[in-house]
Chains A and B, each alone.
Chain A
């Protein structure tokens, strides 16, 4: 790890000022930045520690919306009673992420800035080519070991999978990210690689995430996050789905449904085609499975990740069916 200077900010304003310094990077929980600095991927000249800023870790939830401060810890949000009752998918996405220790460190704002786990991205010494790290250098993953790579939202420049869980739930429920001067829909905050793989977020120099807001809804209250992976725990998703469901009074017709996918796309992936196919239809297994296949429209595999095209619709379907079974 190259050396850097360390500064603490005790207000958002101070942090914004310091973040404008060349080579400055923000440090909240440290689970991404310190890790990537050790890998040689992140090379900050100045680290701005924002973790001591007060008042940014509030969790404020009612039936209309949740406002979660950027410095709230993943573990605290996961265990928050009102989050569990009003936004179960958010809580489930959080507690199934990483490990208890990492969730005690990582913040909600930092989690949105989490970088991909692509092994080529993470190893610059052995794999110099990576368009995310060095624009124009190429993609080492294409033609390599692609078992974990994305099948949706890829480009010739990058096939790296977005690794997170929380943002999948946030995308499903139309959350917004508060950048101070600007507010963005989470879906727009994350950028697919296209020709500019290095740009993962719509965030500008000097901007800092201060909070996220999630609108409340019946679908959010009846929601779940299903994560499928090789290992039972402490692993990124092979495929995951955040689902919200609202049924009509008849108890079987779908009034509102939210479908978002993780582990298979270059960004948190909202599957509106599945939602559209199911809205107004009766919830039955055959139609759910058929509609779930629509999520894979346009999917492109790179060999070893082909299984994700089969797996992801099953994850969606099972999550919907599970919600349908709960009263």
Chain B
């Protein structure tokens, strides 16, 4: 066995380029010059354009579709309806469960939500397709719709969500201090700036899809099953993704329409959802309602937590937003009960939005603990420390690492928490009421097996290949850093290729797992490639190192030499030339030995093989503490966030510059959630009326103060090969309760329904 010396010279550039260095994005130059071509920006000969016709009712039957005017409109090639579109096969779900129905029609005769796709027009130009789609007349037999959580029954119990220990109800009843309140979060949307859409092209029975994707292999599997072609016949290409936030992991109805239209027409079809359709064609975060009851002793020690949650799901699809996930682990309690129901309403199936489960869960428990703190007259930060969980209260295992105490300390220090005036409504600046709030957040470490290809080429350059993707988290960059460090080459010699299902396979990019999975896989592949290079250098008679009394060689800055400095020193390119090699390539993976091809396939195309975060001896999570200052206008009730300090534990950071950006992005999305974002449904129509960027408001630059993030993480060897924990979702968890708590501190008004808009404070 050879041993590699991977230590770099302590030069600035080496520090920058190594894992953990603040290297700027390697995909940055393409993105700032307009040269980065996103998936559906490919230019194809004979491209046609499809536009969807969407249901204008929330429930009922389609009884007629008049397509005559559209069919004769200029440029129209086809008008597809439920009766004329090709029927697809049912596809398995993301767990790999076989389809419930043998066939699938992506255009609906039975309408279960407003915005459901009814028909599609394909034309030579985008403008012609848009104009013709407006000419399609659909008639309906409308039936009453269930529009929100409060309309239904108590819903359907989800037994798998039940978590209980001790006797929570009795302990709550007996507790000397009790708080109990209901917390609501509305329907929220991922609202990535790049809309959903795709280009589909058939060549014989081979399908190429250019589509923004958080999971090219999983989506390729769905297409293959829909059309009954082998998985290998589907190529899904997604070089850059203009934001996903959970929404771009699955092939959806509009995807099927485009691929079917391309098959039927024998021409490539481009279909991009317009912005309003991006609010109705796939699920945002489900609306949720939680009741949190906490009983404590007079010293503030929690005796019991009783939690009940409900989220909306669709009439014909199931989504569970796990509302008890943070509730069960954040604080030590001897008695606990959490149960959850779902209520079916006429909506598109809700989906994953940044930190599904943990985000609304934290809103409940982190507001409730704040209420308890005021009830007892204990500082909210002290309250959290009194009830600090030294181990996972639910599974009773030690934390792998939990730097939450350190996060509270570092955040409080940087924020100046000690100068806080304790009473509500006691700090002001002119006519602005000032409030300081704190809340904690957490996200589990989701782990999976991964693979990667690393190639050392004749010119000394290195290629890293993976079908994983970069939607802004920095995959291109950290994988280049990992390969550069492992191989000992400058990072500019490394090219990373991502987002193509032809490349080494990868599972879903979601749940903040990708960086941990892929750095591990690239490290392994690069180590294997280096092993082979060094092995050849020592054993091949053509090598100048041949016969050297060494059992290893070191590579540094792309040059290879004996670690003791004897013998020659040459570049990798020179060595490759002498060895007569075009390339050395190694596919490395972290898959357990003995996995069958079927298991490997399922590992990459389903989420069923992911490792539980409590597997083995530890409970693995990332952690954070947010400190927020708000200013509330005493006349207008408008809330503006004026300061944020967050201390976060994501373990080891592979690139702090990019990790900080992701954390801040999560915090900013949390500010939007707290103050602005709400899908508003007209009850008469069961339809979102603010499905656009003027009325569903995202924060603008003017809404966001400077944000200070502090990394308090330490390498966590139980969470990933290189010691990192999740980054992407963590930042948003706990932001909304920190803001709500700050608003209470500023005004004395407790707002438990997000978003905190001005009329709730006026």
Contact = CB atoms under 8 A, between A and B. Distances in A.
Given a CB threshold of 8 Å, the question of whether A touches B is answered with yes
A125 B703 contact: no
Interface in B698-718: 699-703
A298 interface: no
Interface stretch (B96-104, B248-256, B687-695): B687-695
Contact of A3 (B131, B636, B680, B689): B131
Interface in B139-187: none
B431 A311 contact: no
Contact of B690 (A1, A119, A143): A119
A2 B56 contact: no
Interface string A227-240: 01111111110100
A162 interface: no
25 contacts: A2-B131, A3-B127, A3-B131, A40-B134, A117-B695, A119-B690, A126-B114, A144-B689, A147-B759, A228-B636, A228-B638, A230-B697, A230-B757, A230-B758, A231-B697, A232-B640, A232-B700, A233-B702, A233-B703, A235-B697, A307-B758, A310-B762, A311-B637, A315-B635, A318-B635
A238 B758 contact: yes
B232 interface: no
Contact of B676 (A126, A228, A230, A236): A230
A283 interface: no
Contacts of A120: 689
Contacts of A234: 700, 702
A314 interface: yes
Nearest to A128: B56
A1 B130 contact: yes
Interface residues of B, number: 36
Identify which of A230, A315, A317, A318 gathers the most chain B CB atoms within 10 Å of its CB: A230
B431 A119 contact: no
A238 B635 CA distance: 13
Contact of A230 (B675, B689, B702, B762): B675
B682 to A, nearest CB: 5
A127 B689 CA distance: 10
B684 interface: yes
Given A236-B694, A311-B762, 20 more contacts: A2-B131, A2-B134, A119-B689, A144-B689, A145-B682, A145-B690, A228-B758, A229-B638, A230-B638, A230-B676, A231-B676, A231-B697, A231-B700, A232-B640, A235-B694, A307-B759, A310-B762, A311-B758, A314-B636, A318-B635
B685 interface: yes
A127 B686 CA distance: 12
Contacts of A145: 680, 682, 689-690
Contacts of A307: 758-759, 762
Contacts of B690: 119, 145
A120 B702 CA distance: 28
Nearest to B132: A2
Interface string A202-228: 000000000000000000000000001
Identify which of A2, A145, A315 gathers the most chain B CB atoms within 10 Å of its CB: A145
Nearest to B756: A230
Enumerate the 3 nearest inter-chain pairs by beta-carbon distance, A residue then B residue, closest first.
A307-B759, A233-B702, A232-B702
Interface of B: 56, 74, 114, 127, 130-131, 134, 276, 431, 633, 635-638, 640, 675-676, 680, 682, 684-685, 687, 689-690, 694-695, 697, 699-703, 757-759, 762
Contacts of B694: 117, 235-236
Contacts of A236: 694
A311 B761 CA distance: 11
B684 A126 contact: no
B584 to A, nearest CB: 51
Contacts of B757: 230
- Assign chain A's interface to a size class: 20 to 34
Nearest to A2: B131
Nearest to A234: B700
Given A126-B685, A145-B682, A318-B431, A232 B703 contact: yes
B635 A125 contact: no
A123 to B, nearest CB: 8
Contacts of B702: 231-234
B119 to A, nearest CB: 13
A126 B131 contact: no
A125 B118 CA distance: 14
A144 B682 contact: yes
A127 B700 CA distance: 29
Contacts of B684: 143-144
B25 to A, nearest CB: 26
A1 B127 contact: yes
A150 to B, nearest CB: 16
A315 B637 CA distance: 11
Given A120-B689, A310-B762, A231 B56 contact: no
Interface in A128-171: 143-145, 147
Contact of A125 (B56, B758, B762): B56
Contacts of A235: 694, 697
B386 to A, nearest CB: 37
A94 B409 CA distance: 46
Nearest to B675: A230
Contacts of B127: 1, 3
A318 B759 CA distance: 17
A134 to B, nearest CB: 16
A271 B431 CA distance: 25
Interface in A274-327: 306-307, 310-311, 314-315, 317-318
Contacts of A314: 635-636
Given A235-B697, A307-B758, A318-B431, A126 B636 contact: no
B689 A1 contact: no
A180 B11 CA distance: 73
Nearest to B697: A231
A231 B635 CA distance: 16
A147 to B, nearest CB: 8
A311 B636 contact: yes
Nearest to A307: B759
A40 B682 CA distance: 21
Contacts of A126: 56, 114, 685, 687
A82 B74 CA distance: 52
Contacts of A310: 762
A231 B698 CA distance: 9
Contact of B134 (A125, A228, A230): A125
A318 B432 CA distance: 12
A119 B636 contact: no
A238 B638 CA distance: 10
A318 B638 CA distance: 14
A85 to B, nearest CB: 25
A117 B694 CA distance: 9
A161 to B, nearest CB: 13
A123 B685 CA distance: 13
A115 B578 CA distance: 74
Contacts of B134: 2, 40, 125
A21 B634 CA distance: 53
Identify which of A2, A120, A126, A317 gathers the most chain B CB atoms within 10 Å of its CB: A126
Nearest to B699: A231
Interface string A1-32: 11100000000000000000000000000000
Contacts of A3: 74, 127, 131
A307 B762 CA distance: 8
